[in-house]
Amino acid sequence: MHLKTNVTEFILLGLSQDPIKKRIVFVSFLIFYLGTLLGNFLIVATIKTSRALGSPMYFFLFYLSLSDTCFSTCIAPRMIVDALLKNATISFNECILQIFSLHFFGCLEIFILIIMALDRYVAICKPLHYMTIMNRRVCKALVAVAWVGSCVHSLTQIFLTLSLPFCGPNVIDHYVCDLQPLLNLACADTYRINLLLVSNSGAICTVSFVMLMFSYVVILHHLKNHSKEDRKKALSTCISHITAVILFFGPCIFIYTRPATTFSMDKMISVFYTIGTPLINPLIYTLRNAEVKNAMRKLWSNKLFSGGEI
pLDDT at 31: 95
Q: Check: CB of residue 3 under 8 Å from CB of residue 245.
A: no
* pLDDT, tens digit, 9 for 90 and up, residues 126-155: 888 888 999 999 999 999 999 999 999 999
Helix (H) or strand (E) segment spanning residue 261? none
| Position 301 confidence tier, pLDDT thresholds 50, 70, 90 | confident
Percent of the residues in the chain that have a pLDDT greater than 70, as a whole number = 93
Helix (H) or strand (E) segment spanning residue 229? helix 228-256
- pLDDT over threshold 90, residue 29: yes
Helix (H) or strand (E) segment spanning residue 46? helix 19-49
**Highest mean pLDDT, choosing among 60-64, 83-87, 237-241, 295-299:** 60-64
Distance in angstroms (rounded) separating the CA atoms of residues 246 and 276: 13
- For residue 17, which of 113, 86, 97 has the smallest C-alpha distance? 86
Nearest 5°: CA angle at 62, between 60 and 67?
A: 95
Whole-model pTM: value is: 0.87
Q: Say which CATH number the domain at 267 has.
A: 1.20.1070.10
| Position 86 confidence tier, pLDDT thresholds 50, 70, 90 | confident
The domain total for the chain is 1
How many of the other CB atoms lie within 10 Å of CB of 207?
A: 11
pLDDT at 1: 45
The CA-atom distances, in angstroms, between 286 and each of 60, 227, 295, 304 are 14, 24, 10, 20
Question: Residue 86 belongs to what domain range?
Answer: 2-309
- pLDDT over threshold 50, residue 198: yes
Mean pLDDT of 169-184: 86
CA 188 to chain centre: 31
Q: Check: CB of residue 154 under 8 Å from CB of residue 107.
A: yes
| Position 101 confidence tier, pLDDT thresholds 50, 70, 90 | very high
- pLDDT over threshold 70, residue 302: no
| Position 2 confidence tier, pLDDT thresholds 50, 70, 90 | very low
* pLDDT, tens digit, 9 for 90 and up, residues 268-289: 888 888 888 899 888 887 766 7
Distance in angstroms (rounded) separating the CA atoms of residues 257 and 245: 17
φ and ψ at 11, to 5 degrees? -105, 125
